[in-house]
Structure 1
């Protein structure tokens, strides 16, 4: 693939060759500076995302910061050109392959994996100190020079692109790479250096164990959900000191994870020295430069093994005792002892009371709604006995009168679900109508519903039961999924608050999610119990859900 004419015109001082890489972050072309004869890599950023004024200005600022980064383990940016719709980064060209290619060829030992991780963390720490997050740390973004020096590429690009596109897809790829993405990044929460720590920990996990911490056989969305809601599987075949460090870097909760790359690197250096002995870094033959004094000290200070010697699996770290660095980082987020215990307690009690009201109302929904006595019959079964029908087949409705047309509508708590109309056969002051609902209706309706018959302007109602299993209908399964979705989204917002970040619109979004959950829970319980949904009970459950979540959010904010 040759460079577009716009790229060639924007960089006249470079000889631009063919594309050497392509992905969600743009296309990379080989190039040579005409005067200096220096080999470079030219990245053409995705213009369809940066075509917005806000994204363009954001990346202009980010590019200036990227150009200022000077660290031996960060790919340097030589130039940045913005012309028309093009955004072009000119960077050092590294021809020594990637960590991914070396790993796939089986050329990374355990000592080399730890050394690569130290180099990666050194570059990340330098960038974080300059206020730059990477947000797409993965083996393919870890490049080697021909001398074997590992450098981190693509700093800050994912951050800017995610401002102008959805996190999930851009050009068919996932921003943040699902296999390595941090939980808070997948959830769309506020980000910090801890997000890069998580991704770096995932890379180290893979290099040491040969596999990812989550099942990667079920697609990108499944992988992201695992990062959001599941603890990583314990790392096998890795000595306990190293395993403990790796699993701590992968903690889902920010309070349990390393907050910065330097702390992670220091513990990793110490654990590796305990496992492989002094001088392991030199023996790995992976150049690691510009380590901070804290990490250099840790290299000569091996930690004691936190578990008996052996290579058995180490459990995921849950809540480790906080070190001074973590304590200092959390100081602004954690409440002082004894601070505002009263309101939090009362908020929680009120939320619990509202939740109990929701459950009680959902269970008290009557089995059948009151209907006026009727002479109607369905398949010769009087409607007062709540006839049961198969909505995928034709059934016969009979009644008194000589209507020209008969219609039957189905509702649940006032929600219309479907209708059928037929021209009846009239004989001796009575009629019979063969009714058949559209095929989709059988998958929508489940449990007990309200049937409304209209004939010559006269309306009669009765309870109709369906032979479809409740969970095989949209009413049953759909309401259950909706309730679970509301709970998951609410938990995501509450986790944001607990981690010390702001949940925008919490005072409105929380009650709305509660209202949605209350309505879905009422409908699901009614359908599964084959009770005819009553609108008043649905309204009561919705209000109770909104009140409960409102108090839950208030309690989280008060803490």
Structure 2
């Protein structure tokens, strides 16, 4: 993580105020330009220029109301060196992982926004590769934006060696095997997210090796809606989630547009 940037001004325009989020790798700062417009500055450690470049390249292609804009690729001077960074639109709100605590009955609307954002990406032959609650920012009106594209890339991208991209709690079986993720991989992660959003807990928990084995080999516990959600788990909803999280990628929804069509056909009253 990169810390200690508060107070500096970048390119004579963007003043860094304070950190607002920290991940396993990058730190996100609140910044304002000379006109008082807020931004998010995502700063990577030195040596991770490739991750910042990837977020910039992918972000340049994404134009959708439920995707947070990536605005510029910057370098941040710090401790005698340059740290790679990307400038993002400021997305007001909180991560879905926190937002759900106070809004459990509204999660289906957020899930629709996720599918709409992913449908845009998949239509461009791009794969997010790290769909999870922490990568959705939801504002006070329930509008959600998909964020974090430093692992994202084109469908069919080849790597010099097997890599495991994603977050273990939400990762698709083929990602565990080191295969290149596809839109169907995003659908698996979205299905695990939806299960968590409705139940209030993940289907697979434990040590990393246990969770990965469960993704590969075990069926999730029967889905029961959390008491605070007020949601009804119907046979149709169970079938929808089962298709999302099929171990066999060929039996899943192949992209988010397919899933969105079926999801909207479920006609949940909670979406109104």
TM-score (norm 2): 0.83
The aligned counterpart of 2:198 is: 208
Change (3 A) 1:123 1:17: same
Change (3 A) 1:257 1:102: same
The aligned counterpart of 1:408 is: none
| Distance in 2 of aligned mates of 1:233 and 1:186 | 21
Give the drift of 1:163: 6.4
| Distance in 2 of aligned mates of 1:166 and 1:244 | 32
Change (3 A) 1:194 1:85: farther
Query: Matched residue pairs, number?
Result: 255
Asked if the contact 1:235–1:247 (Cα under 8 Å) also holds between the matched residues in 2, the reply is no
The aligned counterpart of 1:189 is: 179
Give the drift of 1:64: 3.0
| Distance in 2 of aligned mates of 1:21 and 1:243 | 34
Of 104, 111, 114, the residue aligned with 1:108 is 104
Asked which structure has the greater RCO (Cα within 8 Å, sep 6+), the reply is 2
- Counterpart mapping for 1:297-316 below 5 A: none
Give the drift of 1:206: 0.9
Give the drift of 1:263: 0.9
Q: What's the secondary structure of 1:211's corresponding residue?
A: coil
Deviation per CA, 1:521-558: give whole Å up to 9, x if none.
Answer: xxxxxxxxxxxxxxxxxxxxxxxxxxxxxxxxxxxxxx
Give the drift of 1:196: 0.9
Deviation per CA, 1:149-178: give whole Å up to 9, x if none.
Answer: 2101102x1247x9699856xxxxxx5121
The aligned counterpart of 2:259 is: 264
The aligned counterpart of 1:74 is: 67
Instruction: Extract unaligned runs of 5+ from structure 1.
Output: 169-174, 284-559
The aligned counterpart of 2:245 is: 250
Asked if the contact 1:183–1:252 (Cα under 8 Å) also holds between the matched residues in 2, the reply is yes
Give the drift of 1:127: 1.4
Give the drift of 1:9: 6.3
Q: What's the secondary structure of 1:16's corresponding residue?
A: strand
Deviation per CA, 1:325-346: give whole Å up to 9, x if none.
Answer: xxxxxxxxxxxxxxxxxxxxxx
Asked if the contact 1:98–1:144 (Cα under 8 Å) also holds between the matched residues in 2, the reply is yes
Q: What's the secondary structure of 1:158's corresponding residue?
A: coil
* Pair 1:223-2:211 in alignment: yes
Change (3 A) 1:230 1:12: farther
Change (3 A) 1:194 1:10: same
Give the drift of 1:61: 5.8
Asked if the contact 1:94–1:143 (Cα under 8 Å) also holds between the matched residues in 2, the reply is yes
| Distance in 2 of aligned mates of 1:190 and 1:47 | 26
- Counterpart mapping for 1:239-388 below 5 A: 239-271=234-266, 273=267, 275-276=268-269, 281=271, 283=272
Change (3 A) 1:164 1:108: farther
Q: What's the secondary structure of 1:48's corresponding residue?
A: coil
Give the drift of 1:11: 3.9
Give the drift of 1:12: 3.0
Instruction: Extract unaligned runs of 5+ from structure 2.
Output: 226-232
The aligned counterpart of 2:85 is: 88
| Distance in 2 of aligned mates of 1:15 and 1:166 | 40
Change (3 A) 1:24 1:123: same
Deviation per CA, 1:423-460: give whole Å up to 9, x if none.
Answer: xxxxxxxxxxxxxxxxxxxxxxxxxxxxxxxxxxxxxx
| Distance in 1 of aligned mates of 2:140 and 2:11 | 26
Asked if the contact 1:25–1:45 (Cα under 8 Å) also holds between the matched residues in 2, the reply is yes
- The answer to which structure has the higher helix fraction is 1
| Distance in 2 of aligned mates of 1:159 and 1:148 | 25
| Distance in 1 of aligned mates of 2:172 and 2:94 | 25
Asked if the contact 2:162–2:179 (Cα under 8 Å) also holds between the matched residues in 1, the reply is no
* Pair 1:130-2:124 in alignment: yes
Change (3 A) 1:176 1:11: farther
| Structure index of larger Rg | 1
Give the drift of 1:190: 2.1
Asked if the contact 2:55–2:86 (Cα under 8 Å) also holds between the matched residues in 1, the reply is no
Give the drift of 1:147: 4.3
Deviation per CA, 1:236-268: give whole Å up to 9, x if none.
Answer: 352111111011100010111111001111111
TM-score (norm 1): 0.42
| Distance in 2 of aligned mates of 1:96 and 1:118 | 17
